[in-house]
């Protein structure tokens, strides 16, 4: 058995309203917010990067797990905004956490599913009996070119999950992947901002892979959407996850608890993991969660989780320390566009 032992989340307090970005470029803010389904997004501080936000989430995760850091034998950090081209994020975070030296570390890059790729890697190591505990992190200070459509949604957050072979807050019942060479989003080496294929990123990219992974997971488990209590889909904007859920036969009641994109934007590798965390913050024991990530390039990872009675204690700890996703979402300070450029583009 592979269990989710603990999880930690971090959302920076800074926010910029989508209307303020639109106003700078003389765009109709109502048209943009209604089209993307996003009203504001999270912004990293001037001294924050993928390493620091990953550590914030991971330190909370490890603290609440009760697992000594030195017994964690794997650490994978998924991001598309690693601060170094050559120098791993994972070893820096591992050093900060005090993991010692006897652990396997690696950075993963697969756009917005880099974090869930790490979950699968840890699950394989735990499930095979090779290790007892492993940490997977999705962390991004998402990058976007000024005046590009991505500027309205690219956000910042990090999520860490600790998996292990002892009973935790949720059991991993099944997982799968659906992958193809579909380059809908890319950034060549040495280029500062990513490029994308516009409308092409929807139908042949996001929906094809999310629905493909979902259907495969449903087939291999012989389940149907109504068998699940909650569902989570990657959230590049507010419209795509809603449409994917409805196409598959899920209801808005199953999806809504996970939709953090509306108020913080798309934190890339942390997106679907943050949606899962939002559900874990409120769900009761014995409930099942259907989760599908998406990463441009392109691929989706699908997971089925079942919560246990140990989750209530985790929820109490997180609430007491103002660490719930909803609490972190609501703790915010608005900044203007000039300050936004300073923090994200370091001008």
The residue extents of the domains of the chain are 2-169+310-345, 171-307
pLDDT at residue 147 is higher than 70: yes
Average pLDDT score over the chain? 96
Per annotation, catalytic residue among 80, 82, 151, 156: 80
Question: Token pair for residue 156?
Answer: 């910042």
Per annotation, catalytic residue among 112, 156, 210, 231: 112
Query: Rounded to whole angstroms, how far apart are CA atoms 281 and 287?
Result: 13
Q: How confident is the model at residue 184 (pLDDT cuts 50, 70, 90)?
A: confident
Topology of domain 171-307, CATH: Peroxisomal Thiolase; Chain A, domain 1 (3.40.47)
Q: Tens digits of per-residue pLDDT, 294-330?
A: 999 999 999 999 999 999 999 999 999 999 999 999 9
pLDDT at 185: 81
Cis peptide before 315 (omega within 30 of 0): no
Per the CB < 8 A criterion, the answer to whether 305 and 170 are in contact is yes
CA dihedral 77, 82, 84, 86 (to 10 degrees): 50
Q: How confident is the model at residue 339 (pLDDT cuts 50, 70, 90)?
A: very high
2-169+310-345 and 171-307 have identical folds? yes
Full-prediction pTM beyond 0.95? yes
- Average pLDDT, integer, range 203-232: 97
pLDDT at residue 200 is higher than 80: no
pLDDT at residue 250 is higher than 70: yes
Quick count: other Cβ atoms within 10 Å of Cβ 70? Answer: 13
DSSP code string of 67-86: --GGG--EEEEE-S--S-SS
- Average pLDDT, integer, range 253-270: 97
Query: Rounded to whole angstroms, how far apart are CA atoms 94 and 75?
Result: 7
| Cα first-last separation, the chain | 49
pLDDT at residue 254 is higher than 80: yes
Which spans in the chain are helix H?
18-24, 29-36, 50-65, 89-97, 114-127, 208-221, 239-248, 252-255, 261-264, 271-280, 311-320, 325-330, 337-345
CATH class for the domain made up of 2-169+310-345: alpha beta
Q: How confident is the model at residue 347 (pLDDT cuts 50, 70, 90)?
A: low
325-347: buried (b, 16+ CB within 10 Å) or exposed (e) per residue? Answer: beebbeebeebebeebeebbeee
pLDDT at residue 84 is higher than 70: yes
Q: Known catalytic residue: 80?
A: yes
Q: What kind and span of H or E run contains 48?
A: none
pLDDT at 188: 86
**What are the C-alpha distances in Å from 345 to residues 21, 155, 248?**
14, 13, 39
pLDDT at residue 166 is higher than 80: yes
Highest mean pLDDT among 142-151, 188-197, 208-217: 208-217
pLDDT at 122: 98
């Amino acid at each position: 058995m592979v269990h989710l032992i603990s999880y930690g989340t971090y959302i920076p307090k800074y926010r910029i309203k989508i209307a303020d970005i639109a106003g700078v470029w003389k765009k109709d803010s109502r048209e943009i917010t209604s089209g993307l389904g996003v009203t504001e997004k999270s912004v990293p501080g001037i001294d924050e990067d993928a390493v620091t936000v990953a550590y914030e989430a991971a330190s909370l995760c490890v603290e609440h797990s009760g697992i000594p850091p030195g017994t964690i034998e794997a650490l994978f950090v998924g991001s598309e905004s690693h601060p170094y081209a050559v120098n791993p994020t994972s070893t820096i975070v591992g050093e900060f956490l005090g993991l010692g030296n006897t652990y396997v570390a690696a950075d993963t890059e697969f756009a917005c599913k880099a974090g869930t790729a790490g979950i699968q890697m840890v699950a394989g190591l735990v499930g095979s009996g090779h290790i007892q505990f492993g940490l997977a992190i999705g962390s991004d200070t998402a990058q976007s070119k000024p005046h590009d459509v991505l500027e309205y949604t690219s956000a910042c957050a990090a999520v860490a999950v600790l998996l292990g072979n002892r009973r935790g807050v949720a059991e991993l019942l099944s997982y799968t992947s659906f992958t193809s060479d579909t380059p809908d989003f890319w950034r060549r080496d040495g280029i500062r901002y990513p490029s994308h294929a516009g409308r092409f990123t929807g139908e042949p990219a996001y929906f094809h892979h999310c629905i493909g992974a979902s259907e495969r997971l449903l087939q291999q488990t012989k389940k149907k959407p109504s068998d699940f209590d909650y569902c989570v889909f990657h959230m590049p904007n507010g419209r795509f996850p809603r449409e994917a859920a409805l196409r598959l036969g899920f209801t808005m009641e199953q999806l809504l608890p996970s939709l953090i994109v509306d108020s913080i934007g798309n934190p890339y590798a942390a997106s679907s993991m943050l949606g899962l965390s939002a559900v874990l913050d409120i769900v009761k024991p014995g409930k099942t969660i259907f989760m599908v990530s998406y990463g441009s390039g392109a691929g989706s990872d699908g997971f089925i989780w079942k919560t246990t009675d140990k989750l209530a204690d985790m929820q109490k700890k997180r609430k007491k320390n103002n660490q719930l996703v909803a609490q972190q979402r609501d703790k915010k300070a608005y900044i203007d566009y000039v300050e936004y450029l300073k923090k994200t583009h370091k001008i």
